[in-house]
Amino acid sequence: MKTFNRVAAAAILALATACGNTADGVEKDAEKAGDKIEAASDRAANATANSAESAGSSMGAAMETGDVKTALLADSRISADDINVDSDGTTKTVTLKGSVRTEAQKTIAEEIAKAKAPEWKVVNALTGKPD
């Protein structure tokens, strides 16, 4: 009977120790999970901020494109039907593509774009016939 009691006591001690180790392990696992959740939350917040910044940049570029194209169409000195205006908000660049009837109209189109987008770089990739 003494042997049985010793075995039972050893088993109870082993289980108690195992439970203590398990509880410590669970606590450590919970801390690790909390750290991972916090890191994921930080990454999500940064991604959201970057997306908002990118959306703002895209909106600014779209507005710049519309402003320049409207000004080109409104100016009677040029034929802007074949002018494509692209804007890149990240680099703050307005690009004019397509064709105009003369080299003079190409120059006028660039001047209009620069006037409507004074803080932007204007790339004139228009083709025109020599005057």
pLDDT in tens, 16-48: 555 555 656 656 766 776 676 666 666 665 656
Global pTM value = 0.56
Sign of CA dihedral 79, 84, 90, 93: negative
Q: Tens digits of per-residue pLDDT, 94-129?
A: 999 999 999 999 999 999 999 999 999 999 999 987
pLDDT of residue 2: 57
The closest of 75, 71, 115, 121 to 95, measured between CA atoms, is 121
For the chain, how long is the longest CA-to-CA vector? 117
Number of domains in the chain: 1
Q: Tens digits of per-residue pLDDT, 61-96?
A: 778 888 899 999 999 999 888 999 999 988 999 999
pLDDT of residue 66: 86
pLDDT of residue 74: 93
What's the domain range around 55? 2-128
Q: Are 95 and 120 contacting, i.e. CB atoms less than 8 angstroms apart?
A: no
